[in-house]
Structure 1
Amino acid sequence: MTPFEWLIAGSIAVMTVALASGLIQILVTSDFLTRAVLSDLIFYAMICIYLTWTIGRASSISYEVALLAAIAGGVLPTLSMARIISKGRR
């Protein structure tokens, strides 16, 4: 493995630890607002892990998938979290 691949593996490991700690926090907490925020953390961590993983892989569609997930993940979860925070009021 090259030093760059070690760097990628290390960053994926750090993001995996952050994702796992968010999952544990979701299981422990009973506050719905905290769960909504942590669900965004988990989704963005998965996107970051995928995008970091694709840096070392040669594929023509991998970046498009990550950008589509980021766009869909940027708008839709924010709107749903706003609905959760406001308890369904408009």
Structure 2
Amino acid sequence: MFVTIMQACLIVMAVCLLVMLGAVILTKDELSRAVMADMIFYGMIAIFLVWTLFNSSAIAYEIPILAGLVCGVIPTISMARIISRGRR
């Protein structure tokens, strides 16, 4: 039962990622693209975390922790650069 629920969750997350990818391709606004790219990144991390429930790995939880730390700083900097149009 648990495996079936987790597989359904993986399918829903994959469909959401595909929809978000399509939205990134179709939008023209740079700020919206940056926000959607962050959403895609977090979705991929969520899929990885669900995948680790099925497959054991030595660094299963270090990757999302590092991604969370890095993804807290880099999108803020990139979004600031997009809003200011590259001016310092």
Alignment of 1:36 with 2:25, yes or no, is no
Question: Separation in 1 of the partners of 2:42 and 2:76?
Answer: 12
Q: Match for residue 9 of structure 1?
A: 7
Q: Match for residue 87 of structure 1?
A: 85
Q: Match for residue 71 of structure 2?
A: 73
Q: Match for residue 56 of structure 1?
A: 54
Q: Which runs of 5+ in 1 are unaligned?
A: none
Q: Match for residue 44 of structure 2?
A: 46
Listed one character per residue, the Cα deviations across residues 27-67 of structure 1 (whole Å, up to 9, x for unaligned) are 11111111111111111111111011112222231111121
How many aligned residue pairs are there? 88
Instruction: Give the TM-score normalised by the residue count of structure 1.
Output: 0.86
Aligned Cα root-mean-square deviation (Å):
1.3
Q: Which runs of 5+ in 2 are unaligned?
A: none
